[in-house]
A = this chain, B = another copy of it.
Amino acid sequence: MSSCDTCVVRNRAICAGLDSREIHALNAIGRRRSVTAGEPLIWEDDDSLLVANVIDGVLKLTTSTEDGREQIVGVAYPSDFIGRPFGPTSKASVVALTDARVCVFSRNDFDRFAREHPELEHKLLERTLAELDRTRSWMMLLGRKTAPEKIATFLLEMSERLAETGCTPSFGPANRFSLPFSRQQVADVLGLTIETVSRQFTKLKNEGVIELPSRREVEIVNRGALVALAG
């Protein structure tokens, strides 16, 4: 029995829609791997040697300047695809934010398999187009929004992305969630400094818009205010 049969993201990841024979073939070239929080999976500018599906956990995609400034350029949640197929190098590092499980493939094996299975390539294309949309709307945030707007937008996005993942059968965005990011990482997502992030969080708390039960926990008390602030 292939491990795909018991895969929790089987019906949401790009593997969805493959028949049992194809799943078996894909299973043959992939393997499960655990990544502990903070552990890297792919290095920036490395030869693109592997690609993967996220089964469980959250990972960050980052690029850095020589002098150490970091920008988080993407966040991968369960069922997301990571890595750079059909290209020689990966332009972003991938590091686990939480303990995570992924299904990894050698890039060459994956490329070959994908080219032989148009349905899988199509799924990958849809996913890449959606990611490009998301990335572009993040460019607007980075280039044109103020610090308060960035924070409000970030919290709203988090409440949506983390709700999708959750097992609770609730619909719509979550009003209470646990951030997979440290303050520094929030800063790296938004193009701010850690101090500015901290101050804006505190300000929203003092204004009664959010509660901060613990370092990583956020509760949205007044969603309307947050939407208004998001710009």
State the A residues within 8 Å of B (CB): 61, 63-67, 69-71, 73-74, 84-87, 91-92, 115, 118, 121-122, 124-126, 128-133, 135-140, 142-145, 190-191, 231
Contacts and interface: CB of A to CB of B under 8 A. Distances in A.
A84 B191 contact: no
Contacts of A124: 125
B231 A136 contact: no
B190 A91 contact: no
B65 A231 contact: yes
Given A118-B121, A135-B135, A139-B139, A129 B85 contact: yes
A57 B115 CA distance: 32
A140 B71 contact: yes
28 contacts: A63-B137, A64-B140, A71-B140, A71-B143, A74-B136, A86-B125, A86-B126, A86-B129, A87-B129, A87-B130, A87-B133, A91-B133, A91-B137, A115-B122, A118-B121, A121-B121, A121-B125, A125-B125, A128-B128, A128-B132, A132-B132, A132-B135, A138-B139, A139-B139, A142-B142, A142-B191, A143-B190, A143-B191
